[in-house]
Chains A and B, each alone.
Chain A
Amino acid sequence: MLEIKNLRVAIEGKEILKGINLTVNKGEIHAIMGPNGSGKSTLAQVLAGRDEYEILEGEILFEGKNLIEMAPEVRAREGVFLAFQYPIEIPGVSNTNLLKNALNEIRKYRGLEPLDAMEFLTLVKSKMPIVEMRQELLSRSVNEAFSGGEKKKNEIFQMAVLEPKLAILDETDSGLDIDALRVVANGVNSIKTNDNAFIVVTHYQRLLDYIIPDFVHVLQNGKIIKSGTKELALELEEKGYDWLKEIEEELATK
């Protein structure tokens, strides 16, 4: 589904990603872990098409198509979804309004008829239990005066409605208490099918107790220095990120 080949990315002349290679197949959950400043969020933003970043080298193929060439809204319509680390407030625009327009844009792109108000409402209602979404949040302005937990839940709720093929969760666990974390994780697990895929970007292992990854990649200093299964996350938790420096040095001397 997704193939990243030797991706090098800079912002304001500073190289952040220094040659990333990653393949994600449908039905898989990949966790990307790493310390602050390792380039995790940059990778998430670049996949979604943020234009502040300069692609120095490399390729990103999504279902065989060149993702780098696509505008962010085209990527979204192709089925790439980013759950933001810091969801943005849009005053005066209701959650429902945003979602209805977004969904119908995506449907139009795929040659489907737009949903009318009733069909849309039925769909939305059916998705609300996934993250225990309160009705009241639907009519409120997007993320405005939402608590930290509500914002993150709202991201997952949007994901549930828009049904992306590839969902990228950018530190969705940050700032969540354990109950909210469980709700969000349960939401992700119920959205997960054999046809979609997830990239879960996180600093901590604890999210991975609830969302079980098929693969864990450790990002350090702009490179994936180690990949493994879910046990790698536990090992990392145990040994701490300092352990990575040793690995990095080891790799450098090879």
Chain B
Amino acid sequence: MLTKRIIPCLDVNNGRVVKGKKFQNLIDVDDPVKLAKYYSAEGADELVFYDITASNEGRNIFLHLVEQTAEEVNIPFTVGGGIRGIQDFHDVLRAGADKVSVNSAAVMNPEIITEAALKYGRQCVVLSIDAKKNLQGQWNVYINGGRVDTKLDALEWAVKGEMLGAGEIVINSIDTDGIKDGYEIELTKSISEVVSIPVVASGGAGKREDFYKVLTEGKADAALAASVFHYGEIKIYDLKDYLYSSRVPIRRTE
């Protein structure tokens, strides 16, 4: 049986893993390669690296880290952040990433999804959507690290993304990001019901039950989290044991 995936996410800034709340107040956590190795050994099903550095120099450090990580771990990993064009896809895949996640660039230029899917295959194109609830109770797509409201409807954008060639969707709730009070269940479930590609829930994990809820009620295929893992509040090994005993299909490692 295909299992649900648990994915630690590493936000990397100038070569270090950092974590903020609602996309702000960044604090330093650890060395990304070290963390990647640790999570892989602990039973993580996949890893995500987000490059949140803006400078060119930072970008080079980042690509070097992707390379080092690819050498150290033998589970799949996705790279995102600052992906602007097909050259960026080329660079990160060459550095050893398995999938590339696009966010703002795809909103500005949706053809990038199709172009990358045709060139590298759908399976390595991940559409990452940052969404925030509007006053009407629907979700708008935000770009530029949660700073700009595009007024696009998140559900419509997810459907369009699949049509354009995305092989997976990461849905990140800005309202719940870093708050540790649970994933945005309704949003995740709605997205999962309108697309027929895997959906990864992101933003809000605080306790084991949050994972259970989003993987069952929220219909997510995978759950992504950062700070609860980085600070050791939840051990991946224990989380998987708990999910397994709660009858969620999960891969357990020795």
A binds B: no
Please give the residue numbers on chain B whose beta carbons come within 8 Å of chain A beta carbons, in ascending order.
none
Please give the residue numbers on chain A whose beta carbons come within 8 Å of chain B beta carbons, in ascending order.
none
